[in-house]
Structure 1
Amino acid sequence: MNWNWNETTIDFPFSSENLKNLLNTVCRKENRFSQFEFIKWCDNLTMAFEEDEAEASNELGEIAFGIARDIECQWDIFLVNTYSLKELQNLDLSKVKLPQDWFKEWLKQLNEE
């Protein structure tokens, strides 16, 4: 298979548990990776879930898939609503930060499963 996924410095297998662990790290502000790296990992997670019906079909997988999809979509919306096209063309995405409360809310949703 020819994978065309986002390259990211986060080298964790794609799973619901790792999404929870990474979200915990971001919420505690202990992440050594940028939010952009996390967003790319979440995007890859959704692609992995689409490829692996087994994980995505269990309840936790469905919740994690929805949260990972929301994270990547909110990132895109945040960029479009925050920066002009000209700014986006020169923006260092590793410096962009979503509101911390968003990550706490996603973690809360994931923990409610």
Structure 2
Amino acid sequence: MNWNWNETSIDLPHSFENLKELLNIICRKENKFSQYEFAKWCDNLTMAFDDDETEELNEFDNIAFGIAQDIECQWDLFLVNTYSLEELQNLDLSKVKLPQDWFIEWLKQLNGK
């Protein structure tokens, strides 16, 4: 099988526990990676699990899978709803930041709160 993996500077295996750890780092504002890198990492995580495998996941993993999908989707939606096509063509994506509240909410969901 040939995956279309995104290159990312985040050198962590694609696991749901690492998703939680990365969200913790972002919520503490200790990330040395851009949110763009994180969105690509989340996209890679979702690609690592196809629809057939998600049915076999436990409840935590299913929630984490949904959150990873949401992060990747919200990143794309934020870009198209915030910037014009011309701006996007010249935008340094590593400088784009989603609202911090979103990351806090995703972490709360992941923690079951």
Please list every run of 5 or more consecutive structure 1 residues that lacks an aligned counterpart in the other structure: none
> How far is 1:9 from its partner?
0.5
Partner residue, 2:69: 69
Partner residue, 1:99: 99
| 1:7 correspondence with 2:15 | no
Structure number with higher helix proportion: 1
Q: Is the 8 A contact 2:54 2:62 kept in 1?
A: no
> How many residue pairs are counted as aligned between the two chains?
113
Task: Indicate the larger mover: 3-12 or 90-99.
Answer: 3-12
Instruction: Check 1:13–1:103 CA distance in 2 against 1; reply closer, same or farther (3 A cut).
Output: same
TM-score, L = length of structure 1: 0.93
Instruction: Check 1:55–1:95 CA distance in 2 against 1; reply closer, same or farther (3 A cut).
Output: farther
Spell out, residue by residue over 1:30-89, the C-alpha distance to the aligned partner (whole angstroms, 9 max, x if none): 000000000000000001122882796211111011000000111111001100000000
Structure 1 residues 50-65: aligned runs within 5 Å: 50=50, 53=53, 57-65=57-65
TM-score, L = length of structure 2: 0.93
Instruction: Check 1:107–1:93 CA distance in 2 against 1; reply closer, same or farther (3 A cut).
Output: same
Extract structure 1 runs of 4+ deviating beyond 6 A: none
Give distance in 2, aligned partners of 1:75 and 1:94: 12
